[in-house]
Structure 1
């Protein structure tokens, strides 16, 4: 059984199209668990009317991604059928997938287990543009890179060269997790990572516990990048950039990056300072490229 956990908040149309993709999956042994964190746009009513088999858990708007996901995982744990293999698939509503998606995830798990299986992601509006294919990093000076660089951010090139990529972390947008992993490492850390980085931090804990992190090339997620926080290359003002350091909604929120450094890095504060320095350098380089005359 795959328990598909989807946190949502006021994005009814994205949620509708995500559920539509799941409704036509070739693999049928799954349950959809939507955690609606205080939506006011009719999301819950739409789900109950159009997808009555889906479970809807209702929050008050203060769960954010991490605790909303934990609600879904807890529901799956409490309603476990121990006679079969059980998984959680974390998925964001601003995505779409193809009919064989769940089957490709299971096939990859059976080939590589014990492991977590992550998805390749591409731009929904430009499917040849590879957005994610794994990550590499070290825990001393915050060095790292996106493995999509190895394939020139081109999905066709990725497919032509490999069937999977071994990663050092996995995001929450399309990750298949055996239920036993939660028993081994616990749930997502909603105390220290309210919204961003909880998925990365969870996968790092899983890796430390001996689970491989596999990005399966055949498991493709189409990202609506305009609705996500992954388009880090977009142009932002200095004011927006600085505001990101104090915003729960920002991947550069200083509090969560500090918490990760203290919990997992080899050099603690040094790692944190290097991490922030890398973020600032990236911002400045992007500004230079924009200002550079043709």
Structure 2
């Protein structure tokens, strides 16, 4: 049984589209758990009317991604048949998938187990544009990179060269996790990583515990990039960039980055300083590039 956990908040149309994709999956041994964290746009009513088999857990607006996901995991732990092979699939509502998506994820797990299986993501508006295909990750000087650049950010090129990619971390946007993994290493850390980086931190923890991190090329997620939080790689102002250091919705939140450095880095504060330096340098380089005449 796959328990698909989808945290949502006031994005009714994205949620509807995501659930519609899941309703037509060829692999049928799954349940959907939507954690509606205080939506006021009628999301819960829509789900009850259009997708009555979906389990809806209601929060008060203070769960954010991490604790909302933990709510779903706890529900699955309490309700899944212990005799079955059980999994958690974390998924965001601003995504859509093909009808064979769940089957490709299960097939990849069977081939590579014990492992966590991540998804390739492409831009929903331009499906040829590869957004994510794994990452390199090192824990000394905050080095690393997105492996999509190895394939020129082209999904066609990735498909022509690979069936899977081994990664240093995995995002929560389409990751299949054996349920007993949470018994071994615990849930997502909602105290230190309320919204961003809890998925990365969890996957790094799993990797340290001996699980391979696999990005399965046939498991494709179409990502609505404009629907995410503060995006440091788009054109943002200096004021927006600085705001990102303290915003819960920002992947560059300094407290979150510091917590990750202390929890997992070999060099602790040195890693954190290198990480912040890399973020600032990236912002400046993008600004300089925009200033260059065509």
TM-score by length of 1: 0.99
- Could you say which residue in structure 2 is the equivalent of 1:81? 81
**Residue 90 in structure 1 maps to residue 114 in structure 2:** no
| Structure-1 residue corresponding to 2:195 | 195
Residue in 1 aligned with 2:143?
143
In the alignment, which residue of structure 2 is the partner of 1:107? Answer: 107
Deviations 1:155-201 (A, max 9, x none): 00000000000001000000000001101100000000000000000
Equivalent-residue separation in structure 2 for 1:74 and 1:164 (angstroms):
30
Q: CA deviation at 1:229?
A: 3.9
Residue 25 (structure 1) aligned with residue 40 (structure 2): no
The answer as to whether partners of 2:232 and 2:283 remain within 8 angstroms in 1 is no
Give the Cα–Cα distance (whole angstroms) in 2 for the partners of residues 229 and 7 of structure 1.
14
Describe the SS at the equivalent of 1:245.
coil
Please give the per-residue CA displacement for 1:74-116, whole angstroms capped at 9, x wherever unaligned. Answer: 0000002012100000000000000000000000000000000
| Alpha-carbon distance in 1 for matches of 2:137, 2:229 | 20
Which residue does the alignment assign to 1:258? 258
Q: CA deviation at 1:35?
A: 0.0
1:54 equivalent in alignment to 2:54: yes
- Secondary structure of the structure 2 residue equivalent to 1:248: coil
Shift in Å, 1:118? 0.1
Q: Within 1, Cα distance between the matches of 2:36 and 2:253?
A: 24
The number of residues matched between the two structures is 294
Displacement after TM superposition at 1:233 (Å): 2.2
Structure 2 distance, partners of 1:228, 1:238, is: 19
Distance 2:154 2:228 in 1: 20
Partner of 1:214: 214
Extract unaligned runs of 5+ from structure 1: none
- Separation in 1 of the partners of 2:232 and 2:163? 27
**In the alignment, what sits opposite 1:67?**
67
Corresponding position of 1:163 = 163
Structure 1 runs of 4+ aligned residues shifted over 3 Å read 229-232
The whole-number CA distance in structure 2 between the counterparts of 1:28 and 1:12 is: 24
Q: Call closer, same or farther: CA 1:231–1:255 in 2, change over 3 Å.
A: closer
Secondary structure in structure 1 of the residue aligned to 2:245: helix
Given that 2:27 and 2:103 are in contact with CA atoms closer than 8 Å, whether structure 1 keeps it comes out as yes
Q: 1:209 to 1:199 in 2, by over 3 A?
A: same
Deviates more, 1:113-122 or 1:222-231: 222-231
Query: Which residue does 1:205 correspond to in 2?
Result: 205
Residues 48-67 of structure 1, C-alpha deviations (whole Å, 9 max, x = no match): 11000000000000000000
Whole-angstrom distance in 1 between the partners of 2:137 and 2:218: 24
The Cα shift of 1:230 comes to: 8.1
